[in-house]
Amino acid sequence: MVKNDIMKNYQLTNEEYLILDEKYGDLTQFAAWQLYKKNTRNNHTDDQEDIAQELKISMMKAAAYYKRQVYIEKCLELCKQNAKDKMSIYIIDNLINLWSNRTRHGASKQKFGPYQEDMLEKLTNKLVLPKYRPNKSLSLNLNDKSENKRFKIYVSSIIWNSTRFIGKKITKERTIRTGLTSLSEYDYLQSV
């Protein structure tokens, strides 16, 4: 599944965004302020608000990925409970193994991708009664304390990783920007 597909399949509602912005908006502003402050001498063209908006997009992606993670874990749990035949049990065990090893070294060779997610969805539709099936469009449950703590760590990590990525991009582009002149400087240089 491509990143854009995840954002489409596990969309955030306006209410969810407002809750996320209320909880983590200050963190994005603080991270943007720190990054802007560190790069003032690099001829960086984005202002603090541009950086904060980019971090808020990362926050929204983190929420969509987290919704996907919760959905997949619930599907795996329900399929494991309801599987009766050996083939289904074998497939589910392999999917659980792939899912649990997705962050280990070498996970890129054996990842839980679109094919596995499609297979899991078909198994869920086959094995789990419709009224018990998880719903992709369910809202984030940030009221549960254990889930809230887990999500808080996840979204904070994503925001800080995005900040580092933006900082690296600024550093790489510094050499390009140092040789550039603005249009007003170009006019002045032409008249000399």
Contact between 24 and 154 under an 8 Å Cβ cutoff? The reply is no
Question: pLDDT in tens for each of the 192 residues of the chain?
Answer: 455 578 888 888 888 899 889 988 898 888 888 888 877 665 556 678 888 888 898 899 888 888 888 899 999 999 999 999 999 999 999 999 989 887 765 555 667 888 889 999 999 999 999 999 988 887 777 666 666 777 888 888 888 888 888 877 766 666 655 555 555 555 555 655
pTM for this predicted structure:
0.75
Centroid of chain to Cα 160: 12
Amino acid identity, position 4: N
Contact between 38 and 167 under an 8 Å Cβ cutoff? The reply is yes
The Cα–Cα gap between 171 and 165 comes to 10
The Cα–Cα gap between 59 and 20 comes to 8
Rg (CA), the chain: 22
